[in-house]
Structure 1
């Protein structure tokens, strides 16, 4: 009887995660606000901006979009994997991937998004190099960090493949 009570409490404790996912939805609203501010700033300066300024503005918008995509992946996959299944039956435009991403797929999607975000940050830094806004030392560290992310992604994918081959 005590064992069942403990198991019941442990099983129900997964719902503690739900407010975290709601908090991530609020974080997406903050990202939306920042996206709107960046878009407004981008539009205001478009006429007098150089080609590299336009590219940097677009990269900033893409960066925010990828970050928001990453949050969506975490919300849906995490909720489905750790809290409760979501019934997509009442939603005709429900993306298929949302009900099929397991924890391994979630890790791979997260790392792929982080690598893409890191690449965009690196490209933005490289494009700002001639403006004096970034030192070569800082750029070197950004490259090192990006390479670490890429290497980590490859190692994770390789270890997941090895693990799945054994099963």
Structure 2
């Protein structure tokens, strides 16, 4: 009975696979949004100011960072929670793909969120007159919360990894 339950629980990881396929659909939506943003950006070139150019580029960077974040979640999530991808021999395989465990995934996610938040904040600062002081203050606070969360998450991972290394060393020295 225990073996059947464990087999069933282990097989249930495949319920995540459709979610990763759905994220590929979300990636396609981001690609469409990027194309539309680029099209509108290109059409506005004749009357574009320097600030408009910077804002347009920041919008494109923002979309590309969100797409990168999705790829990280799709690849790492699938490999960590569903199944290994048999792409080791593919010449275009990203170097980080085998190296991103759940801990690394969390750090990459937080780093991407901080970068996206920073770009949004930069866009606000480029057009500061459109925003109230209260809204700007909240955006800065939220960004700082993301930054502090990332630092604390990295510190926790560092402490955990050092504890594991120390424990292995103690066990090795005792043996």
Same fold per superposition (TM over 0.5): yes
TM-score (norm 2): 0.92
> How many residues are aligned here?
164
Match of 1:166 among 149, 163, 166: 163
Higher Cα radius of gyration: 2
CA–CA distance in structure 2, aligned partners of residues 75 and 8 of structure 1: 24
Q: Which residue is equivalent to 2:14?
A: 15
Unaligned runs of 5+ in 2: 165-175
Moved over 3 A (4+): none
Q: Which residue is equivalent to 2:153?
A: 156
CA–CA distance in structure 1, aligned partners of residues 109 and 134 of structure 2: 28
Unaligned runs of 5+ in 1: none
Q: Which residue is equivalent to 1:136?
A: 133
CA–CA distance in structure 2, aligned partners of residues 107 and 150 of structure 1: 13
Q: Which residue is equivalent to 2:64?
A: 65
3-state DSSP of counterpart to 1:91: coil
The Cα shift of 1:90 comes to: 3.9
Instruction: Compute the RMSD of aligned alpha carbons.
Output: 0.8
CA–CA distance in structure 1, aligned partners of residues 88 and 61 of structure 2: 31
The Cα shift of 1:67 comes to: 0.1
Residue 52 (str. 1) matches residue 65 (str. 2): no
TM-score (norm 1): 0.96
CA–CA distance in structure 2, aligned partners of residues 55 and 12 of structure 1: 49
Deviations 1:72-97 (A, max 9, x none): 00000000000001122341111111
